[in-house]
Amino acid sequence: MERLQKVMAHCGVASRRKAEELILKGRVKVDGKVIRELGYLVNSKNIVEVDGIVLQREDHVYYLLNKPRGVITSTFDDKKRKTVVDLIDTNKRIYPVGRLDYDTTGALILTNDGEFANYLMHPKNNIMKCYVVKVEGILKGPQIHALQKGVMIDGKKTNDAKVKLRKVDKQNNNCIVEITIHEGRNHQIKKMIEQVGFKVLKLKREKIAFLDVKDLKSGEYRVLTPKEVARLYGINERHKKSTD
């Protein structure tokens, strides 16, 4: 037996929190009966409907993609541009976890597990994302220190970040910077760089937690192993123990 909102999240309807909102609004039925109880338990034989559509429970899948430039991080694009879902050969209804901009490349996870996706995206779970940034101009100590300690973007200060200057090209007036964050705000890396007076020329997400795309060519993907999925789920618990 599992809680109704957990089953809904597993089926990819929404995050568990959004599933709870749907239940409270009376939009969910179990075996034809409207359920408004958040702790309601269901089993595999119960028929669950959301807005009249029966949920199809399916095995969860998890993919790591090396996203190319010029591909939309979405399940559908009304301009008929290629999406990240188009790159994965599967009959499952998958979706990307978080977003990478049209011109940003690198590590992206896709899944049909709503609970897992919500877990990865929530800042409190301390999922590290490492980016490699080509910057127009050369960052100096004060700018690096500011990025490390947090800068104001969209009216809110960013959390502490790890910042490492990888390469300086004085002849072409640019540099390569590695930035590691635990947040996932909209266009965060680009806005952070702009906030210290510089411009991003290229951006790649090199790692999500311990997962990297070094062995994947642009546009290639692989299936995450059960051990890797379990290890991702364990990151927050390990962080709590280290800070206790």
Q: Rounded to an integer, what distance in angstroms lies between the CA atom of residue 3 and that of residue 156?
A: 35
Burial string for 188-214 (b: 16+ CB within 10 Å, else e) reads bbbbbbebbebebeebbbbbbbeebbe
Q: Are strands 33-34 and 62-67 parallel, antiparallel or unpaired?
A: unpaired
- And the tokens for 21? 């909102």
Residue 163 and residue 147 in contact, taking contact as beta carbons nearer than 8 Å: yes
Rounded to a whole number of angstroms, the distance between the first and last alpha carbons of the chain is 33
Considering the candidates 31, 101, 160, 244, report the single residue annotated as catalytic.
101
Asked if 101 is an active-site residue, the reply is: yes
- Within 10 Å of residue 8's Cβ, how many Cβ atoms? 26
* Active-site annotation, residues: 101
